[in-house]
């Protein structure tokens, strides 16, 4: 079969040949090196050239149609196609970094390899179609396809859609064509056997969905093999976004030129929509309406949302979504009451996001969160158990919007396990961004196939506070898994011995014996939680050794560091840093409110496929209702699970829940776990209607505090303590805060605060007695110093005033300098509710 260098050479020749006939192509190839700003125009011209090319091809094809030459011509034509795509890609590629684009071009060539087969298939309907419209459409689809294959890392969904399309196309094809394409595919073997087989499989029109996805993964993996480096580099850089945008507009242009009707007009500049929305559209237009799985839609939305920065979103990004599955989103978007009521023209804010600037409804929040109609059935307990396990993190939650990162990590781990590579990678992201979930999911996924071939060692920087402890722990965990005898092993010996033994254990056997053996050491996956703390260990011995093993291929190990610190690589020593592969994955918290909703919702909704069969059967069994119950509620024959899911969906569709409950979380913490925590109590107290607990449930007894009032969240600040302070403590605190302003220094001591208090209180006393209110006793009494001292100590313990470190004169005389941790204004706000206005005045007047 022809190899890629040859074909590429040939391609070049073909291109030059083509140049003779169509000068536009030349133009586009010149444009390839044009600057980034010109990319857009360049792409447009390319499209024109593409169009011309295709028409040219068409002409040629109709001219001679002999079966003998046909295959040859098809070849040429394929090459031309490739060339066109190459140009297309090249023109769109902004040549920012020479290396990058270089790699990229290579990638394009290789990854466009599976291409011609398909295009050859698709030329057939073109011939049948006299207008040629279909062809151009298919072309455009091909473009998309290309994109999917080259870079979309979350290919499965897209590919699936493609498959639907293909199967539809297939119906229109004749047998001859399929054999032809089979032959064509032979030429494609360069990308490896697996790829070839995958392609072959694609040909068969009817495949089960499961197989489809699997295949998609395979192809994707192949792509990853080839693209590994560039992909990591290019992961959603602005450059990329721009090229995508250009592509989106270019495909639009194609559509415009191809058929006068602008059907794909509402295409959005985001990657997702270019890839995805037009496809179902066309399907419904030209082929059978294919039922789409709702899942890809959700992913698409999440990803689309993830793709866009929070505030750069504008309306046409979301509003004109042609997908029918997106109706739920639509409901929210078009809900007139939701966000469009803000008339202050805050166009920078996504109107769908309930923000503090939008009108906040006064509806009671507790109403929507719990289910007015209680879920009935036997599975309730199980359901509660499952949901609580979900919330408390004992059951893995689904990943939302992390597909790309998941693929990267998965691939890395898999390569270590199956191919024996040494790898290292850092996952950086804020708390609650899903690092651990991601890694756990990857491990469980890898363990499905290769459970016997790797060990996992988990370390946590909080627990394993120095290298010695960490090493001992590694030894223990490995020993446990490898069934090493604990006694005469390295444990308990000194550090160096342990390290040596460990290294020997991890290393490839051939290294000691000197002879080459076929035996492959078992892979070890090291997961270092709180990686930054490991970097703080003196001399970073552990990291050095781990990275060294990983890098020098002594043993198949993968080191995954999980951290919250972005600058963690800077804290690595030079020798450690040089051994680190510098692969990073940055996980971010939800970038938009919609994405946040999705994450929270996905963690609460329980899909049947996430359950074990036993649980699923128990939950999905339609509850046997007792006759009297049936008479009460005849239509409720849904099972517990779907009822729960419906409830959650309804909850997340309710505006008041979103605005008054979820939005504050999003704007303040973006932490999904905080949201989940607030579901803990309502879930635990969820009641079965027949149970004895119904009287105590929050939903049925209105007097009991609603579930949302006790969300188990810690208060925001110490200010929540203020109302609980005794009046003398509060007075002293106010005095200290006043001194802060009066003396213009942030420290004071008890004596000063007490002095100030005495001054204030005596003044208040005089004023009170002048006013005639004698003996009310509240602030009219000036308390003695000893009593005040006691309260002051309470304040210090409570952290409202902080002792200044290094302050002298602690102990005896109340000279210890402290810093008042709350400001006067804050105190004034905090005690607003008090009846006594004296202290309020102290806060306001100096």
Partner 1 sequence: MLPDELLEQLQTSFPCRELQIRQLSALYSARLPSPSLLTVYGLEATGKTSIVRGVLRANSIQHCIVNSRECITGRHLLERTVASCLDALDQYDDAEIDRKPYARCENISALVVHLQRMMEERTEKFVLVFDGIDRQREAPPTLLPSLARFGEMIPHLSILLITRFPLPLALHSPGAPHLPFPPYTRAESIHILSQSPPKIFLTPPDPEKFPDYTADLAAEDDAWLWGRFLGTVWDTMSKHVGRDLVSFRTTALRMWRPFVTPVVAGELGTRHFVRLMVRQRSLFQGEEPLLNRVVPKESRFKENIKDTLAVGTVKKKPLHLDTDILSLPHYTHYLLIAAYLASYNPARTDSTYFMTHADGRKNRRRVKNTPLSSSVSLSKSKNAKNHRRIPRHLLTPSPFPLDRLFAIFRSLVEGEREGSVPQTGDLLGMVRTLASLRLLVRAGVGGEVEGGGKWRVAFGWEWVRGIGRGVGVEVGEWLVGGVDG
Q: Which of residues 620-649 bind partner 1 (CB under 8 A)?
A: none
Among 193, 372, 770, 846, binds partner 1 (CB under 8 A): 846
The site map against partner 1 for 106-135 (x = CB under 8 A) is ------------------------------
Least distance to partner 1 from the beta carbon of 464, Å? 5
> If binding means CB under 8 A, how many residues of this protein chain bind partner 1?
84
Containing 750, the helix (H) or strand (E) segment is helix 750-771
The site map against partner 1 for 589-618 (x = CB under 8 A) is ------------------------------
Among 336, 635, 715, 833, binds partner 1 (CB under 8 A): 715
Which 721-760 residues touch partner 1, going by CB under 8 A? 721, 724-728, 742-744, 749, 751-752, 755
Which 556-585 residues touch partner 1, going by CB under 8 A? none
Name the segment binding partner 1 (CB under 8 A); options: 190-198, 367-375, 655-663, 773-781: 773-781
Nearer to partner 1, 354 or 814 (CB): 814
Least distance to partner 1 from the beta carbon of 683, Å? 8
The site map against partner 1 for 173-212 (x = CB under 8 A) is ----------------------------------------
Least distance to partner 1 from the beta carbon of 198, Å? 39
Which 228-247 residues touch partner 1, going by CB under 8 A? none
Centre a 10 Å sphere on the Cβ of residue 424 and count the other Cβ atoms it contains.
24
Nearer to partner 1, 254 or 535 (CB): 535
Reduce the DSSP state of residue 803 to 3 states and report it: strand
Least distance to partner 1 from the beta carbon of 405, Å? 20
Instruction: Estimate the crossing angle of helix 67-92 against helix 238-258, to 10 degrees.
Output: 130
Among 469, 491, 569, 646, binds partner 1 (CB under 8 A): 469
SS (H, E, C) 253-272: HHHHHHCCCCCCCCCCCCHH
Least distance to partner 1 from the beta carbon of 661, Å? 14
**Do the beta carbons of residue 362 and residue 603 sit within 8 Å?**
no
Among 3, 362, 372, 462, binds partner 1 (CB under 8 A): 462
Least distance to partner 1 from the beta carbon of 730, Å? 9
The site map against partner 1 for 313-352 (x = CB under 8 A) is ----------------------------------------
Least distance to partner 1 from the beta carbon of 705, Å? 6
Which 777-796 residues touch partner 1, going by CB under 8 A? 777-778, 781, 783-787, 790-791
Least distance to partner 1 from the beta carbon of 488, Å? 17
**Do the beta carbons of residue 664 and residue 670 sit within 8 Å?**
no
In order, the DSSP letters of 269-308 are: SSHHHHHHTHHHHHHHHHS--PPPPHHHHHHHHHHHHHHS
Which 798-827 residues touch partner 1, going by CB under 8 A? 798-799, 807-809, 811-815, 817
Asked if 536 touches partner 1 (CB under 8 A), the answer is no
First-last CA distance in the chain: 90
Distance of CA 834 to the CA centre of its chain: 46
Reduce the DSSP state of residue 326 to 3 states and report it: coil
CA-based nearest residue to 736, from 763, 760, 718, 757? 757
Least distance to partner 1 from the beta carbon of 760, Å? 13
Nearer to partner 1, 61 or 476 (CB): 476
Least distance to partner 1 from the beta carbon of 595, Å? 17
Which 652-671 residues touch partner 1, going by CB under 8 A? 669, 671
**Do the beta carbons of residue 358 and residue 659 sit within 8 Å?**
yes
Q: Which residues of 672-709 are buried (b: 16+ CB within 10 A; e: fewer)?
A: bbbbbebbbbbbebbbbbeeeeeeebbbeeeeeebbbe
Nearer to partner 1, 4 or 751 (CB): 751
Q: For residues 647 and 635, what is the distance between their CA atoms, to the nearest angstrom?
A: 16
- Distances from the Cα of 544 to the Cα of 438, 460, 499, 567, angstroms: 25, 17, 12, 18
Least distance to partner 1 from the beta carbon of 835, Å? 12
Which 426-455 residues touch partner 1, going by CB under 8 A? 431-432
Nearer to partner 1, 432 or 830 (CB): 432
Among 92, 549, 587, 675, binds partner 1 (CB under 8 A): 675
Containing 120, the helix (H) or strand (E) segment is helix 115-128
**277 CB burial (10 A radius; 0-12, 13-18, 19+):** buried
Least distance to partner 1 from the beta carbon of 487, Å? 12
Which 471-530 residues touch partner 1, going by CB under 8 A? 472-473, 476
Nearer to partner 1, 249 or 669 (CB): 669
DSSP-derived secondary structure letter, 713: P
Reduce the DSSP state of residue 620 to 3 states and report it: helix
Q: Which residues contact 641 (CB under 8 A, 6 or more apart)?
A: 379, 383, 606, 608, 616, 619, 620
Nearer to partner 1, 139 or 458 (CB): 458
SS (H, E, C) 561-581: EEECCHHHHHHCCHHHHCCCC
Least distance to partner 1 from the beta carbon of 754, Å? 8
Name the segment binding partner 1 (CB under 8 A); options: 141-149, 355-363, 600-608, 710-718: 710-718
Name residue, tokens 């600037």.
Answer: 357
**Do the beta carbons of residue 275 and residue 152 sit within 8 Å?**
yes
Least distance to partner 1 from the beta carbon of 137, Å? 48
Nearer to partner 1, 79 or 532 (CB): 532
- Distances from the Cα of 726 to the Cα of 669, 731, 795, angstroms: 32, 9, 10
Instruction: Estimate the crossing angle of helix 39-63 against helix 23-31, to 10 degrees.
Output: 150
The site map against partner 1 for 378-417 (x = CB under 8 A) is ---x--xx--xx-xxxx-----------------------
In order, the DSSP letters of 142-178 are: HHHHHHHHHT-S-HHHHHHHHHHHHHHHHHH--HHHH
**Do the beta carbons of residue 438 and residue 405 sit within 8 Å?**
yes
**635 CB burial (10 A radius; 0-12, 13-18, 19+):** exposed
Nearer to partner 1, 98 or 567 (CB): 567
Q: In what order do the strands lie in the sheet with 523-529?
A: 454-460, 523-529, 557-563, 423-429, 584-587
Which 678-697 residues touch partner 1, going by CB under 8 A? 680-681, 684-685, 692-693, 695-696
Least distance to partner 1 from the beta carbon of 767, Å? 18
Least distance to partner 1 from the beta carbon of 839, Å? 12
């Amino acid at each position: 079969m022809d190899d890629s260098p040859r074909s590429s050479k040939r391609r070049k020749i073909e291109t030059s040949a083509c140049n003779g006939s169509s000068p536009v192509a030349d133009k586009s190839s010149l444009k390839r090196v044009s600057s980034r700003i010109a990319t857009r125009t360049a792409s447009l011209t390319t499209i024109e050239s593409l169009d011309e090319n295709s028409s040219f091809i068409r002409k040629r094809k109709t001219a001679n149609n002999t079966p003998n030459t046909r295959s040859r011509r098809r070849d040429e034509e394929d090459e031309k196609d490739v060339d066109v795509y190459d140009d297309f890609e090249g023109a769109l590629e902004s040549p920012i970094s020479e290396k990058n684009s270089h790699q990229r071009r290579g990638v394009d060539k290789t990854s466009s390899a599976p291409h011609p087969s398909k295009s050859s298939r698709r030329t057939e309907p073109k011939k049948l179609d006299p207008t040629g419209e279909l062809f151009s459409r298919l072309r455009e689809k091909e473009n998309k396809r290309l994109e999917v294959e080259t870079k979309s890392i979350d290919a499965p969904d897209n590919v699936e859609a493609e498959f639907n399309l293909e199967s539809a196309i297939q119906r229109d094809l004749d047998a001859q064509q399929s054999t032809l394409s089979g032959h064509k595919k032979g030429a494609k073997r360069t990308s490896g056997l697996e790829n070839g087989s995958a392609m072959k499989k694609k040909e068969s029109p009817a495949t089960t969905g499961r197989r489809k996805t699997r295949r998609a993964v395979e192809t994707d993996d192949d792509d990853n093999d080839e693209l590994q480096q560039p992909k990591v580099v290019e992961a959603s850089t602005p450059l990329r976004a721009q090229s995508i945008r250009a592509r989106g507009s270019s495909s639009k242009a194609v559509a415009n030129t191809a058929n006068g009707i602008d059907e794909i007009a509402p295409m959005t500049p985001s990657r997702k929509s270019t890839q995805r929305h037009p496809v179902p559209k066309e399907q419904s237009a030209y082929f059978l309406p294919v039922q789409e799985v709702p899942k890809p839609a959700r992913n698409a939305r999440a990803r689309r949302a993830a793709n866009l920065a929070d505030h750069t979103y504008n309306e046409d990004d979301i509003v004109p979504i042609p997908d029918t599955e997106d109706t739920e989103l639509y409901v929210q978007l078009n809900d007139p009451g939701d966000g469009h009521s803000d008339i202050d023209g805050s166009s920078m804010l996504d109107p769908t996001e309930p923000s503090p600037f939008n009108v906040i409804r006064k509806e009671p929040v507790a109403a929507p969160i719990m289910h007015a109609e209680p879920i009935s059935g036997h599975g309730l307990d199980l359901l509660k158990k499952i949901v609580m396990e979900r919330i408390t993190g004992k059951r893995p939650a689904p990943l939302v919007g992390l597909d790309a990162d998941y693929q990267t990590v998965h691939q890395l781990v898999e390569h270590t396990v199956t191919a024996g590579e040494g790898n290292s990678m850092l996952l950086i992201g804020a708390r609650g961004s899903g690092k651990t979930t991601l890694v756990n999911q990857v491990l469980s996924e890898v363990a499905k196939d290769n459970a016997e071939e790797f060990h996992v060692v988990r370390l946590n920087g909080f627990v394993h506070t120095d290298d010695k402890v960490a090493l001992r722990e590694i030894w223990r965990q490995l020993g446990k898994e490898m069934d090493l005898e604990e006694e005469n092993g390295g444990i308990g010996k000194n550090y160096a011995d342990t390290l040596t033994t460990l290294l020997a254990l991890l290393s490839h056997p051939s290294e000691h014996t000197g002879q080459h053996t076929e035996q492959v050491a078992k892979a070890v996956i090291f997961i270092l939680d709180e990686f930054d703390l490991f970097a703080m260990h003196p001399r970073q011995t552990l990291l050095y050794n781990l990275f060294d093993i990983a890098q020098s291929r002594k043993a198949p190990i993968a080191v995954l560091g999980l951290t919250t610190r972005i600058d963690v690589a800077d804290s690595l020593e030079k020798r450690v840093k040089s051994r680190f592969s510098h692969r990073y994955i940055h996980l971010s918290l939800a970038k938009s409110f919609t994405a946040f909703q999705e994450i929270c919702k996905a963690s609460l909704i329980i899909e049947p496929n996430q359950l074990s069969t036993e649980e699923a059967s128990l939950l999905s069994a339609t509850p046997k209702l007792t006759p009297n119950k049936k008479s009460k509620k005849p239509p409720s024959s849904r099972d517990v699970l779907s009822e729960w899911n419906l409830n959650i969906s309804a909850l997340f569709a309710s505006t008041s829940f979103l605005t008054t409950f979820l939005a504050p979380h999003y704007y303040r913490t973006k932490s999904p776990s905080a949201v989940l925590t607030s579901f803990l109590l309502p879930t635990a107290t969820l009641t079965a209607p027949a149970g004895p607990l119904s009287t105590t449930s929050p939903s049925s007894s209105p007097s009991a505090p609603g579930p949302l009032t006790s969300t188990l969240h810690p208060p925001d600040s110490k200010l929540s303590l203020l109302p609980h302070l005794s009046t003398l403590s509060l007075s002293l605190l106010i005095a200290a805060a006043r001194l802060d302003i009066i003396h213009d220094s942030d420290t004071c001591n008890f004596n000063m605060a007490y002095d100030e208090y005495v001054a204030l209180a005596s003044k208040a006393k005089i004023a009170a007695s002048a006013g005639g209110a004698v003996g009310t006793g509240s602030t009219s009494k000036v308390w003695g110093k000893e009593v005040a001292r006691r309260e002051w100590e309470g304040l210090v313990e409570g952290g409202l005033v902080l002792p200044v470190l290094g302050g002298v004169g602690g102990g005896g005389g109340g000279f210890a300098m402290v810093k008042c941790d709350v400001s006067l204004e804050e105190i004034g706000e905090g005690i607003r509710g008090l009846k006594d206005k004296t202290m309020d005045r102290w806060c306001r007047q100096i």
